[in-house]
Chains A and B, each alone.
Chain A
Amino acid sequence: MFDLSATLQLIVSGLAMGAIYALVALGFILIYNAVGVVNFAQGDFVMFPSFIAVSFILPSVIVFGSVMHWQLPIIAVYLLVLILMAGFGLLFNRIAYYPLRDRGWLPVVISTIGVSIFLRNLAQIVWGSQPIVFPSPFALQTLSAGGLHLRTQDLLILGVSALLIAFQFVLFERTTLGKQMRATAQDRATAQLLGIRVDRIVAITFIYSVLLGAIAGLLVSPIFTVTKEMGGLISLKAFAASIVGGFGSIPGAIIGGLLIGVVENLGGYYISSDYKDAIAFVILIGVLLLRPSGLFGERVSEKA
């Protein structure tokens, strides 16, 4: 039976979760558009910066089995994490992609899987396996009105995601750098002939993609706690979202993320919670059957 109050609640929490899927899906899409491979370490770019951040936010944290006291002001921590992850994005590009760029897509995909395994195990060695509580910069409160309950962190997730999506629109549509990134994604050879330094643009895309994952991690950590597995299911759903939206389509990744977040919640409530996770993949299969290029993907015709 239809329940308006429950439905609204499910939509709100689904949108918050969907916004995170969208940010991670954007990371997938940007790297895919730039170099034509799926980065299977994208979920770990949500996890790893969260561990770094929490090491500097908490008064004490256990690192390599020893108690460390590295507490810094929260704004400084966020800036530090973004700077470190930008450096990591460049390193990721230089180590996992650049040496393999001329060997086809498969070695690069395997390389990203290797980075994923490396980051998870590194996190376990450095911080151990205990989940770590990530204090929110804002007090974790719930706003209630008309039977609807909204966590302030969910509002923050929605707000920051909307800002990032707007920023991305401006970046790609209004700036030279964005246009160079789009040109490189569309046709690397032609972009190079036009004088665009393609390798540099690809490196910037990797950095931006890692930063999107890092921001998603900083947003969800206060409600999920920080564990080495925290990016796993998120990246799987984000991957489904990017295919539903149309792999390669930026608006598609955003809509796909939000759609999966909301529909899996509604399906989990009205059909069965046992199948909640399966619902994302049922949507995926349905979209692939009815519209193989995804909701916003370009139709591809094959010549006979």
Chain B
Amino acid sequence: MSETRKRFLVQSAVAGAASTFAFPNIALGKGEPIRIGTIPPITGSNALNGQEELEGAHYAVEEINSRPGKCFDDRPVELVVEDATNDNQAAVGALNKLLGENVVAVVQPVLSTQIQAMAPVMKGAALPWMTGGTAVKNTQLGLTNLFRCRASDGITAHGLVDFAVKDKKLKKIGILHSTEAFGSGGADQVEASLKNYNMKAIGREGFPKDTKDFTPELLRLKTAGADGIVAYVQNPSDTAVILDQFKSLGMNANIALLGSPAVGNTTALATAGAAAEGIFVAQDFIIGFNSNIATKFITTFYREYHRQPDVGTGQGWTRDAFLLLADTYRKIGTADPAKAVEALHKTKHWEGVLGDFTCDAEGNLVHNMSVGVVKNGKVVLVKTVTVSV
């Protein structure tokens, strides 16, 4: 092979590779897959979140690809998965790998701590970033491509406190929270919401994940005279132990327990069993919102996985994130990341499993929450709160 011909072939190969990286599969032809990346924590101590979100992603891709015409031009979605693990540094490494895999959007994570760690990388990537972390700060990091597909802790904490003070007439509210970003952020929001009513928490008790005995935390709040406890807890098995001890210490007789969305999710309630009866829980969607979309999602999921999905915190929001992306691509007729980001900011009254999606200036898409009471293992609607955009 002559040197000139060899050089030409090498240059062509480099040019081809460069064009692929410079113009990710947006320019590919009819029927070519649109690669969407997802980065749940599949291994490590948050693997439960990862498993639920991966199930939601697979469900969504199946739903999108079964539609006639798929996204547009008969192009299906192809899922690209990387493991965020439970370590922020490893999560950023996995994100960098994902971004090198020719994806046009990223869905996940749900853990606010990982979102905040990944933010500098995603700021440079400028792809649509569909996240599920509820810490208020996430959408205030200066990223225009970050979208939150669940109600923020600001909304759920405000709704819970509003319900506790106005409806339940509670006067002495204590806070129990896990000490990672979600629990601490939620507790901060509860304290901020109490200030709106000129109230102050009578105690704030934090605990690390996988704590096995909550007697000191619960007794401290009881001794302080709490008539209500707002609990921001991430881990379902922590929720189960707390509710069991809350009941066995006899505190459920005269203290109301109000839990964050993670306390009221399907897994946590199934794990807590009878100990959850009578507690109030916030949900970052409208309880009993029986749209065709939600009903189809719940029944199809159950058929496939033999258990109920977590509508808010797990599979539900993940499904909505993918479907919203697919519908946006269909609407604009391209998977171009910049155009998709622009179009996502214009989202108005898109209907998902979680209800209405309308984008505000910060990229928050969901603005509803509701409060329910646990009766016979099910969450029954008590009150709905909607924050206007």
* CB of B161 to closest CB in A, whole Å: 22
Question: A residues within 8 A CB of B43?
Answer: 121, 124
Q: Does B51 lie within 8 Å of A130, measured CB to CB?
A: yes
- Asked if B249 CB lies within 8 Å of chain A CBs, one says yes
B47, B206, B216, B249: which contacts A269 (Cβ < 8 A)? B216
A124, A128, A220, A273: which contacts B216 (Cβ < 8 A)? A273
Binds B, one of A25-33, A182-190, A228-236, A292-300: A228-236
Q: Does A227 lie within 8 Å of B51, measured CB to CB?
A: no
Q: Does B250 lie within 8 Å of A9, measured CB to CB?
A: no
- Asked if B30 CB lies within 8 Å of chain A CBs, one says no
A residues 110-136 in Cβ contact with B at 8 Å: 121, 124, 128-131, 133
* CB of A272 to closest CB in B, whole Å: 9
* CB of B249 to closest CB in A, whole Å: 5
* A237 to chain B: closest residue by CB: B212
Q: Does B248 lie within 8 Å of A142, measured CB to CB?
A: yes
Q: Does A276 lie within 8 Å of B241, measured CB to CB?
A: no
A residues 200-221 in Cβ contact with B at 8 Å: 220
Q: Does A269 lie within 8 Å of B219, measured CB to CB?
A: yes
Q: How far is the CA of A277 from the CA of B247 in the complex (A)?
A: 23
Binds A, one of B137-145, B266-274, B330-338: B266-274
Task: With A128-B51, A223-B244 as known contacts, state yes or no: A277 contacts B211, CB within 8 Å.
Answer: yes
Q: How far is the CA of A224 from the CA of B244 in the complex (A)?
A: 9
Task: With A130-B267, A131-B267 as known contacts, state yes or no: A6 contacts B219, CB within 8 Å.
Answer: yes
B223, B241, B273: which contacts A6 (Cβ < 8 A)? B223
Question: B residues within 8 A CB of A267?
Answer: 216
Q: Does A276 lie within 8 Å of B207, measured CB to CB?
A: yes
Question: A residues within 8 A CB of B207?
Answer: 273-274, 276
* CB of B361 to closest CB in A, whole Å: 36
- Asked if A225 CB lies within 8 Å of chain B CBs, one says yes
Task: With A13-B213, A62-B306, A233-B212 as known contacts, state yes or no: A131 contacts B240, CB within 8 Å.
Answer: yes
Q: Does B208 lie within 8 Å of A277, measured CB to CB?
A: yes
Q: Does A130 lie within 8 Å of B48, measured CB to CB?
A: yes
Question: A residues within 8 A CB of B47?
Answer: 124, 129, 228
Q: How far is the CA of A220 from the CA of B248 in the complex (A)?
A: 16
* B205 to chain A: closest residue by CB: A273
Q: Does B215 lie within 8 Å of A10, measured CB to CB?
A: yes
Number of interface residues of A (CB under 8 A): 41
- Asked if B316 CB lies within 8 Å of chain A CBs, one says no
Q: Does A17 lie within 8 Å of B219, measured CB to CB?
A: no
A130, A131, A149, A265: which contacts B249 (Cβ < 8 A)? A149
Q: How far is the CA of A171 from the CA of B241 in the complex (A)?
A: 35
A149, A233, A266: which contacts B248 (Cβ < 8 A)? A149
- Asked if B186 CB lies within 8 Å of chain A CBs, one says no
A140, A220, A228: which contacts B212 (Cβ < 8 A)? A220
- Mark interface residues in A225-261 (1 if CB within 8 Å of B CB, else 0): 1011110111000000000000000000000000000
- Asked if B24 CB lies within 8 Å of chain A CBs, one says no
Question: A residues within 8 A CB of B219?
Answer: 6, 9-10, 269
- Asked if A67 CB lies within 8 Å of chain B CBs, one says yes
- Asked if A3 CB lies within 8 Å of chain B CBs, one says yes
Q: Does B223 lie within 8 Å of A3, measured CB to CB?
A: yes
Q: How far is the CA of A266 from the CA of B216 in the complex (A)?
A: 7
Q: How far is the CA of A9 from the CA of B210 in the complex (A)?
A: 21
Question: A residues within 8 A CB of B247?
Answer: 142
* CB of A219 to closest CB in B, whole Å: 12
Q: How far is the CA of A61 from the CA of B364 in the complex (A)?
A: 38
* CB of A37 to closest CB in B, whole Å: 25
Q: Does A230 lie within 8 Å of B210, measured CB to CB?
A: yes
Q: Does B206 lie within 8 Å of A274, measured CB to CB?
A: yes
Question: B residues within 8 A CB of A107?
Answer: none
* B213 to chain A: closest residue by CB: A17
- Asked if A144 CB lies within 8 Å of chain B CBs, one says yes
Q: Which residues of A contact B (CB under 8 A)?
A: 3, 6, 9-10, 13-14, 17, 62, 67, 121, 124, 128-131, 133, 140, 142, 144, 149, 151, 220, 223-225, 227-230, 232-234, 265-269, 273-274, 276-277
List 13 interface pairs A-B (beta carbons < 8 Å), by A numbering. A6-B219, A10-B215, A10-B216, A13-B215, A225-B271, A229-B209, A229-B210, A230-B210, A232-B210, A233-B211, A265-B215, A266-B216, A273-B220
> What 8 additional pairs, Cβ within 8 angstroms, besides A227-B237, A269-B220?
A10-B216, A124-B43, A124-B47, A225-B271, A229-B45, A233-B212, A267-B216, A269-B219
